[in-house]
Structure 1
Amino acid sequence: MKFLRYFLIIATLFTFHKGYSQANPYRDSVVQLYGVVMTADSLKGIPAASVIVEGRGRGTISNGDGVFSIAVLKGDHILFSSIGYKDKTIHIPADLPGNQYSVIQLLISDTTYLPATILKPRPTREQFERDFVNIPVQDDLYETVRKNNNEAQRRALLNSLPADGREAVNYQLRQQANKAYYAGQVPPMNILNPAAWLDFIQAWKRGDFKKKN
């Protein structure tokens, strides 16, 4: 009975492995894709060019000289893109011998022609000031400006909007630096710090500790 049970388990695993291999023929065919992204006209490296593996949610960007390196699978489609250039897609051969694939990818400039705009200055400063003051402004714009300049509105936006990437990274770096600075010792308490008390009083006067509905 034990032998039969083990035989059934091994047969099931073998069948599952075989079916998975047929559904994913390139799952173990890892290829190191590397190369350089360059302009087609001047052959200069394109920095920060996106190298995306389509359908897999993975990618990388080129360095300052246009050089990149990423692990892909045989049969993948790789999309190269950069602002100001036309996108280009390449295919990693499914029958590629070895596990390395190099490419020099040239991107063509994507030119967009905008309609011409002619700027004419006012003849005199007095005429400019007169026209600037007399420009009609809609009431809705006035109301929008009032809301944006309201201190309570700005404070609410500051508390509700999430931090961007730079703010988050700066906060994390400050936390790490503070932790490393006081490593092996007790950090000072701000209860006796006059500057901390001043910040607390100012925040209390601004109403930062009031309950927000």
Structure 2
Amino acid sequence: MINLNSKNGNQYHLLDFANLNERGLMPLKKAIELNGVEIAKVSPAGTARRKDGVAMRTFGLKFMDEQEVSVQVNETGDVSAINLNKKAVPYIGAKNLSELAKVIASAIQVNSVAFAKSLARKLARAEKPQGGQAKKPGVKSNAQRLAEQSERIDAAKASIVTAQQFYAEREQSAVATKKQIESAQTELKSEQARNRQLKGELESLQGQHHDE
């Protein structure tokens, strides 16, 4: 995953077309997670298909907040399209693996709050009582809590960025600022763990409702 291809005088990062699987995509996975988003699952690319005479394969990435990214790769190794939750992500090429990872991670982060709220609304609508059945009280509240939890995670991430900027500008207070960064990172991990717990509770409530 370190080759480059020349297009119109520019250098673009290439992926290994023959190894778009979990092992081959591990460097990309690690690079994305360095940007602060966690990948829950890597879906290997399937059989190549041809479009306008060019063979292409598509692999998928599922993130901890349930967002999904699909990446289309041409037989030359060029990334030709990136989609987030089935919608195209603006992409004009990346000169290295780090830039490609940043494009994907940024798309996830920017859309995280809106996606969580949309998911909560869908779950709430799906669990509305029908035919006189008693309303399941825990489902909607857990969906709302999941959206709120995502907002707190974003707030924690913003606190880390603010603290890091302050650290760069105020080197003389480096020790105190470092503690602030560590505290914000600890809070972020705690909120992410709570987020996973809430998702588990929500899925459990939904399962109980369907069983009844």
TM value normalised by structure 2: 0.24
Whichever structure has more helix as a proportion of its residues is 2
TM value normalised by structure 1: 0.24
